Amino acid sequence: MIYLTGDIHGQYDIHKLATRGLANQDIAPKEGDFLVVCGDFGLVWNKRQNSEERYWLRWLAKKPWTTLFVDGNHENFDRLGAYPTEEWNGGLVHPVHEKVYHLMRGQTYDLEGVRLFTLGGAHSHDMPWRKEGVSWWPQEMPSDDELRQSEAALDACGRSVDVVVTHCAPTLVQGRIDPTFETDRLTDYLEHVRETVSFKRWFFGHYHLDRDYDDGFSALYERVVPFVR
């Protein structure tokens, strides 16, 4: 089974993955299941790994499921990019810890016969209050190469997937959340994906709300939800 949730911001919103938090939502992932965080994972945050980071990564590793995450805009991209790259279930990942994997941008994965397409990143609207290399990194937005990789991966699977996992939403969907939100090259690219790719469900985080839309989109924050084929 594949479960998905929204931002955890390091230890600040990780409580929803505790046994009690899951039980409150009638969720009980088992050994062999996957739980996908839709960006702003945030546990790999400081310049160097510290005791707090080690504690929470070990805490996740003790859970029965395998934790997967796409990156959001609040990540230490210098550290994420320093992890070795491995092929895993058909796509490239950064293995961050035992049973904790960063799903890289523009990749497709086969999980239990479910094909996922992943493209993390988002624009930080609070950038003026952040410091480059300390609390903000320019790699928050996908590069041209990562967008080309996304197109190649989608073309390779016939532009048909079961699940899309991103941090921000396509331009049209973001406009439903709040029409005053500014669009950018990533939301516009995701709009292109929405228009040209066949998918069953699309899950995203970023906006700190829990809401389902009638065309297969789901905004996730506090909820942990299963993907039902």
CATH number at residue 17: 3.60.21
Domain count, the chain: 1
Measured CA to CA, the distance from residue 122 to residue 144 in angstroms comes to: 14
pTM of this structure: 0.97
User: CA-to-CA distance for 118 and 139, rounded, in angstroms?
Assistant: 16
Residue in 44, 221, 39, 37 with CA at minimum distance from that of residue 141: 39
User: Which tens digit of pLDDT belongs to each residue from 170-186?
Assistant: 999 999 999 999 999 99
Question: pLDDT by residue (tens digit) across 55-109?
Answer: 999 999 999 999 999 999 999 999 999 999 999 999 999 999 999 999 999 999 9
Range of the domain at 143: 2-226
pLDDT band at 131 (very low <50, low <70, confident <90, very high): confident
Q: How many whole angstroms separate alpha carbon 136 and alpha carbon 99?
A: 26
